[in-house]
Amino acid sequence: MKMQVLLFPGQGSQFVGMGKDLHDRHARAREVFARADAALGFPLSRLMFEGPEETLRETRNAQPAILAHSLAVWAAWEPGWKAGDLVGAGHSLGEYSAYTVAGALKFEDALRIVRRRGELMFEAGQRSPGTMAAVMGSDAETVRQVCAQVPGVVRPANLNSPGQVVISGEVAAVRAAGELLKAKGAKRVIEINVSGAFHSPLMEPAAEGLREALAAAEVREAAFPVYANATAEPVTAAEAIRASLVRQLLSPVLWEPTLRVLAALKPAGFWEIGPGQVLKGLLRQMDRELPCRTMGTAEEVQGSEVHS
């Protein structure tokens, strides 16, 4: 079998009702949601299925919800591929989902870590208020140059696709950079409703707590390579996984560079595992010819041509 690429979505893909169809139609998915509720000590699955949306959107809830959804899809789907046929990547939070599917993190540990990650990110945002903004129609190098010119902390945070870069930092600096980018030809700059300046130096207060959470968890060698957000390079070793996950909290998500590296491997297909189809859209912005299937609903799992 030719190589398959598994892609796992990040925060922002959550929605009320996520995973309910999987829960209702697949026993293995039900088991995943029950394990998630037990691991976290509260009914995460009920929050996913019923909301309220405002509570689900909280960073500490959205992150474990998306991870649980992705793992429920994987459990229900069971494509039966060998590890040697797989590579993975995840967008920010999704990198944790990728390592969990690769067997490097136990599911319950991953849930508790991303729950703690969300709390730490929120607390860092309270200590050092910041924001993020999506820049449309400007290239990454222009965005880097503008961020370097603006006083204060502002950095490229997500290199998502050609013409879509997210910047992150202090509120005034992000807004100043946005105005300058529009003056330099950016089509749109849209401020994002987030609780902090994720993937920027303002997350430094969260890094130590995350490092401690990862050190306390068992991390094993990944069964297949996961391409890290911070480097766009494959990672399998346990200590490299820990270091990568701390580094990505402070570093830009190199998503477009990662997709280009994965595309160069000439895989048989890309599969977005989890809620929504954001990553499929970003892949199509880079190359519309690359085959990508979304796997987030019971219907998509049932309709897949790949079965164990």
Catalytically active residues are 92, 199
Give the distance from CA 54 to its chain's centroid: 20
Classify 192 as helix, strand or coil.
strand
Q: At what angle do helices 94-101 and 238-250 cross, to 10 degrees?
A: 170
Coil, helix or strand at residue 135: strand
Burial class (CB in 10 A: 0-12, 13-18, 19+), 293: middle
Q: How far is it, in rounded angstroms, from Cα 246 to Cα 248?
A: 6
- Do the Cβ atoms of 48 and 18 come closer than 8 Å? yes
Helix crossing, 27-40 with 59-77: angle to 10°?
150
Alpha helices per DSSP H over the chain: 20-25, 27-40, 44-50, 53-57, 59-77, 94-101, 107-127, 140-149, 171-183, 204-216, 238-250, 255-264, 278-286, 298-303
Q: Residue 79 and residue 75: Cα distance in Å, rounded?
A: 9
Cβ contact 5:260 at 8 Å:
no
